[in-house]
Amino acid sequence: MKKIAVFASGNGSNFQAIHDAVESGKLRAEIKLLVCDKPGAFVIERARKAGVPVLEFSPKQYASKVEFETMLHEELQKNDVDYIVLAGYMRLIGSVLLKHYPERIINIHPSLLPAFPGVDAIGQAVATGVKVTGVTIHFVDEGMDTGPIIAQRAIDIQDGATKDEVAQKVHEIEHEFYPETLDKLFEGKR
């Protein structure tokens, strides 16, 4: 069974979906740690309620990304973490973690990459008027949403759909698709 650390920065709905899938047996993994770079984010409350250990930190307390990623790597080693699972972690992963976890850092992004990388992908899709968007799960590399794609799932955008309506559909897919894809990956079935 793979041991994972979930990295999140905000509300934590994908963290919750991953946790629920672990609890129900749909995702054969163990969440060893929630890592949050935004002290006070709601995901911390979700993790504590679920009994998942929390590492919250403020990057501003460190002189550099290398310094805080070195601290994170030490914590991940202490917890025997096999994979880092990004779930709304709004920070680029740097060289320290990439070196120690090659093809073992996974991200979910609310578009069909390579379309609409970066922040506000759903807003970009709606503003551009595309008819199809979706969800991409990919390995993390040094770029912004540029790593090798593991899986994608498309959804249609109805004419006149608002950003909030599209976001709701995307999140519904994410909450099922991410744990399902992680389980396949961890079991060697991707």
Question: What's the CA angle centered on 165, arms 91 and 86, to 5 degrees?
Answer: 20
Burial class (CB in 10 A: 0-12, 13-18, 19+), 82: middle
SS3 assignment, position 93: coil
pLDDT band at 169 (very low <50, low <70, confident <90, very high): very high
109 is catalytic: yes
pLDDT band at 63 (very low <50, low <70, confident <90, very high): very high
Quote the pTM value: 0.95
Residue 13 assigned ligand-binding role: yes
| DSSP H or E run through 119 | none
| pLDDT at residue 190, as a whole number | 67
Mean pLDDT, residues 19-45: 97
Closest Cα to residue 125, out of 173, 163, 169? 163
Residue 94 assigned ligand-binding role: no
Residue 21 has pLDDT above 70, yes or no: yes
Q: How far apart are CA 181 and CA 139, in angstroms?
A: 12
What is the residue whose two structure tokens read 């290398």? 66
| pLDDT at residue 189, as a whole number | 78
Residue 64 assigned ligand-binding role: no
- What residue spans define the domains of the chain? 2-186
CATH of domain 2-186: 3.40.50.170
pLDDT tens digits along 103-160: 999 999 999 999 999 999 999 999 999 999 999 999 999 999 999 999 999 999 999 9
pLDDT band at 82 (very low <50, low <70, confident <90, very high): very high
Residue 90 assigned ligand-binding role: yes
Q: How far apart are CA 18 and CA 23, in angstroms?
A: 9
Residue 49 assigned ligand-binding role: no
In the set 109, 138, 171, 175, the catalytic residue is 109
